[in-house]
Amino acid sequence: MQKRRLGTSDLEVSAIGLGCMGMSFSYGPPKEKREMISLLHASIERGITFFDTAEVYGPLINEELVGEALAPYRSKVVIATKFGFELDPNGGPRWVGLNSRPEHIKEVAEGSLKRLKVDVIDLFYQHRVDPSVPIEEVAGAVKELIKEGKVKHFGLSEAGADTIRRAHAVQPVTALQNEYSLWWRRPEQEILPLMEELGIGFVAYSPLGKGYLTGKIDQHTKFDTTDFRSSLPRFAPDALKANQALIDLIAEIAQRKKATPAQIALAWLLAQKPWIVPIPGTTKLERLEENIGAVNVELSGRDLDEIEKAASKIRLVGDRYPEHLEKMTGR
């Protein structure tokens, strides 16, 4: 497995990481624990060193799963987790609001350290920007945790350019985690140039468009009510049908390259910048191996130009999130 450095930091990770959310949260009921531990072990055996989780996934149970599975491999792996949501005090499955008050950040860190079975959190992201707490206070709280040896690196997720600059001035931001794929390219407008300027790494979540770019989802796909895609505008049948042109383009290139559509989508991301690391999620060994295979897919400059030219003619339909969730991004 190739390695990549996140920006100008000293944090080196596998070129493709593993998003662990779907093992416990959002894509239907939690998967069987022993199976997921086996999958996590298999990913390490195949060279993945970068694992992504969060307090809110489950909530709590995804961190516990990752902590238990990766404990024997602690010296070989980098674990990223996140703070910033207020969990239901009654133990419900959903968060009830945002909370990035410094005292709360420190409470979350202590809980995450225990659940992950680690002495230090490798990368601690603010999951979503809390408009009620100045980002300088957030960065300051993480800076204190870094001084105390409880956190190594500070990250942000779905933050706006001004917020990133302000945070970075207080505590250097190692990585920004945003959605980015051939299906969602907004980071190219303002965020990626800023990452280059400030030397910040970029971690791409949903690099396969929440499964859509694999070519295995179409307008006839039915999602269970426990699958959060059932509530996303881009996964409405009309939108899936309208966006099929992008899937056809990826499939055509995949056939020519003797690769799968998923591998082309990931290889495209890897080719954008050397400090971009996609973190596709999966619960299946065959998909894990397929995703890892993307590092061996070479897209030439001509290939990339062809993709760019064809993709520019495709008008994508449907918002990526419902309005209340989209409002929480780009702050």
Catalytic residue at 57?
Answer: yes
Tell me the sheet residues that pair with 157. 177
Q: What is the pLDDT of residue 195?
A: 98
Cα separation values, 60 from 53, 82, 120, 233, 236, Å: 10, 11, 17, 27, 30
**Quick one: what percent of the chain has pLDDT higher than 90?**
97
Q: What is the pLDDT of residue 107?
A: 98
Q: What is the pLDDT of residue 165?
A: 98
Q: What is the pLDDT of residue 308?
A: 95
In this predicted structure, the answer to whether residue 176 has a pLDDT above a threshold of 90 is yes
Q: What is the pLDDT of residue 271?
A: 98
**Contact in structure between 297 and 267 (CB atoms under 8 Å):** yes
How do 3-5 and 12-14 pair as beta strands?
antiparallel
In whole angstroms, give the CA distance from residue 317 to residue 33: 37
Q: What is the mean pLDDT of residues 241-268?
A: 96
Burial of 296 (0-12, 13-18, 19+ CB in 10 A): exposed
Q: What is the pLDDT of residue 154?
A: 98
Q: What is the mean pLDDT of residues 31-47?
A: 98
In this predicted structure, the answer to whether residue 28 has a pLDDT above a threshold of 90 is no
Say what angle helices 61-70 and 33-45 make with each other, to 10 degrees.
50
Q: What is the pLDDT of residue 91?
A: 85
In this predicted structure, the answer to whether residue 72 has a pLDDT above a threshold of 90 is yes
For residue 45, name the pLDDT band (cuts at 50, 70, 90): very high
For residue 330, name the pLDDT band (cuts at 50, 70, 90): very high
**Contact in structure between 187 and 161 (CB atoms under 8 Å):** no
Q: What is the mean pLDDT of the chain?
A: 96
Q: What is the mean pLDDT of residues 5-32?
A: 96
Model confidence pLDDT, tens digit, residues 91-131: 888 899 999 999 999 999 999 999 999 999 999 999 999 99
Model confidence pLDDT, tens digit, residues 214-237: 999 999 999 998 899 999 999 999
For the entire predicted model, the pTM comes to: 0.97
In this predicted structure, the answer to whether residue 90 has a pLDDT above a threshold of 90 is no
Model confidence pLDDT, tens digit, residues 138-170: 999 999 999 999 999 999 999 999 999 999 999
Q: What is the pLDDT of residue 143?
A: 98
Q: What is the mean pLDDT of residues 32-56?
A: 98
Q: What is the pLDDT of residue 310?
A: 93
Give me 19's structure tokens.
Answer: 């998003």
Select which of 27, 57, 125, 180 is catalytic: 57
Domains of the chain, each with CATH number or no CATH: 3-210+268-299 (3.20.20.100)
For residue 296, name the pLDDT band (cuts at 50, 70, 90): very high
Q: What is the pLDDT of residue 60?
A: 97
In whole angstroms, give the CA distance from residue 240 to residue 259: 23
In whole angstroms, give the CA distance from residue 133 to residue 152: 22
